């Protein structure tokens, strides 16, 4: 009888339940207010951003009370039903489970999950739906490779490839995403959209940018030793400024093609002799070429070019005093001599295939000149 009385005297009955409800209500209200007040995300840069941020707030409002409920029950149970000194040999009273309660706590979470999944599906389906003028929608190819992005444009049948991403404000853009090597993830946080770039297949999503200016591009999938530095910039222009940028890209490439070279055309880059006069080496360094050579400036810092990449060494430091032969060797055979602090395999080893002889010669001459 003594054992039964000691064991059955636990808990505060209705008083404990009342205390739990009061504590749970206060903690839930505080948690919801805190969760909504926190500025979780960067600026909203697309039409999808507001819907996704609202979805997040709904999840916070629903998940905080559930977390508080579970935590409150555990804490009160630990307070009221903990073992006290001298009770080491006692058993608790025999309690039969409540079938009704078990049905409730199984059915309610199931209904809640189905509702949330349905809501999330509706949001995703809505932001992914094609615009009314889908036939005129701009499509941009996105190619990920260790450790940079390149972008393929088709403007009225005229195509070009660049490492710079420019899109027009207020116009729907479909990104066709693929990878040359390993799995990457194309993510612009301001747009709230991200998707894997998977070797062998093409994935896609749509975005309508709404905020002019520069927005960071991030790889959100661990893809190798240079993953943290696989960052570039998306520029949202006014429609007029975007078309001006496109015309400039097309004019440069069409003018270069007419001159018989393979690289970006122009006239302000350093160029060596022997057929390199039409190669704008500085533009080549910053933008890459149409054959798929990634822009050097995406990974390397170089004061003359204004680049600040950190995936590879600072070229102003490592190339200082080196002759043209050594610089060319570092481009075509990057693993032959690795700078301290960097690992093998970070830089692609196929630049000799991607750069024409004129481009390679002009790039070497440019780097030798600006780092001497």
List pLDDT tens digits, range 149-161. Answer: 889 999 888 888 8
Say how far apart CA 357 and CA 199 lie, in whole Å: 29
Confidence of residue 351 (pLDDT cuts 50, 70, 90): confident
Mean pLDDT within 108-115: 94
Q: What is the pLDDT of residue 346?
A: 74
User: Using the 8-state DSSP alphabet, how is residue 314 labeled?
Assistant: B
Residue 228: predicted pLDDT: 83
pLDDT band at 12 (very low <50, low <70, confident <90, very high): low
- For the stretch 290-346, pLDDT in tens is 665 667 887 888 888 888 777 788 898 988 888 889 898 888 888 888 888 777 767
The whole-model pTM stands at 0.64
User: How is the beta sheet containing 138-145 ordered, strand by strand?
Assistant: 158-162, 148-155, 138-145, 173-179, 203-207
CA 249 to chain centre: 26
Q: What are phi and psi of 278, to 5 degrees?
A: -90, 0
d(CA 170, CA 158): 22
Q: Report the share of the chain in percent with pLDDT over 90.
A: 35
Chain centroid to CA 369: 36
pLDDT range class, residue 121, cuts 50, 70, 90: very high
* Cβ 213 vs Cβ 236: under 8 Å: yes
Peptide bond into 306 cis (omega under 30): no
3-class SS of residue 153: strand
Q: Give how far the C-alpha of residue 320 lies from the chain's centroid of Cα atoms, to the nearest Å.
A: 34
Confidence at residue 83, expressed as pLDDT on a 0 to 100 scale: 80
The predicted structure's pLDDT at residue 222: 94
| Residue with more model confidence, 13 or 50 | 50
Predicted confidence at residue 250, as pLDDT, reads 85
> Is the predicted pLDDT of residue 212 greater than 70, yes or no?
yes
Better-scored residue on pLDDT, 269 or 299: 299
Mean pLDDT along residues 168-191: 94
Question: Does residue 242 carry a pLDDT above 70?
Answer: yes
Write down the pLDDT at residue 7.
43
Lowest mean pLDDT among 118-132, 163-177, 237-251, 271-285: 271-285
Provide the mean pLDDT of the chain. 83
pLDDT at 70 over 50: yes
Confidence of residue 174 (pLDDT cuts 50, 70, 90): very high
Q: How many CB atoms lie within 10 A of CB 116?
A: 15
Query: What is the share, in percent, of the chain residues with pLDDT greater than 70?
Result: 87
Least confident of 54-63, 66-75, 225-234: 225-234
Determine contact, residues 237/169, Cβ cutoff 8 Å: yes
Under the banding of pLDDT at 50, 70 and 90, the label for residue 6 is very low
Residue 44: what pLDDT? 93
């Amino acid at each position: 009888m003594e054992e039964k009385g000691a064991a059955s005297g636990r808990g505060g009955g209705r008083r404990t339940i009342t205390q739990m409800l009061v504590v749970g209500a206060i903690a839930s209200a505080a948690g919801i207010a805190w969760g909504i007040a926190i500025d979780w995300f960067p600026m909203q840069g697309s039409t999808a951003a507001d819907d996704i941020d609202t979805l997040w707030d709904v999840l916070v409002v629903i998940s905080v009370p559930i977390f508080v409920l579970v935590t409150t029950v555990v804490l009160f149970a630990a307070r009221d039903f903990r073992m006290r000194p001298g009770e080491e040999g006692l058993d608790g009273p025999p309690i039969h489970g409540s079938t009704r309660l078990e049905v409730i706590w199984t059915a309610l979470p199931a209904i809640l999950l189905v509702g949330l999944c349905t809501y999330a599906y509706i949001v995703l389906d809505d932001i992914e739906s094609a615009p009314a003028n889908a036939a005129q929608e701009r499509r941009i190819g996105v190619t990920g490779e260790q450790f940079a992005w390149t972008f393929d444009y088709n403007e009225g049948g005229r195509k070009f490839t660049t490492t710079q991403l420019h899109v027009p404000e207020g116009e729907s853009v479909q990104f066709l995403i693929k990878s040359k090597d390993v799995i990457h993830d194309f993510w612009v946080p301001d747009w709230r959209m991200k998707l894997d770039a998977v070797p062998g297949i093409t994935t896609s999503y749509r975005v309508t940018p709404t905020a002019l200016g520069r927005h960071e591009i991030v790889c959100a999938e661990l893809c190798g030793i240079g993953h943290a530095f696989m960052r570039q910039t998306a520029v949202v222009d006014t429609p007029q400024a975007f078309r001006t940028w496109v015309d400039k890209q097309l004019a440069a490439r069409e003018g270069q093609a007419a001159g018989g070279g393979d690289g970006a055309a122009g006239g302000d880059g350093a160029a060596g002799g022997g057929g390199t006069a039409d190669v704008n080496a500085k533009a080549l360094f910053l933008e890459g070429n149409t054959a798929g050579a990634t822009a050097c400036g995406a990974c390397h810092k170089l004061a003359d070019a204004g680049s600040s990449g950190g995936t590879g060494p600072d070229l102003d430091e490592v190339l200082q005093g080196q002759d043209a032969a050594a610089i060319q060797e570092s481009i075509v055979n990057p693993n032959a001599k690795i700078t301290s602090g960097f690992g093998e395999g970070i830089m692609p080893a196929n630049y000799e295939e991607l750069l024409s002889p004129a481009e390679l010669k002009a790039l070497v001459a440019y780097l030798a000149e600006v780092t001497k």
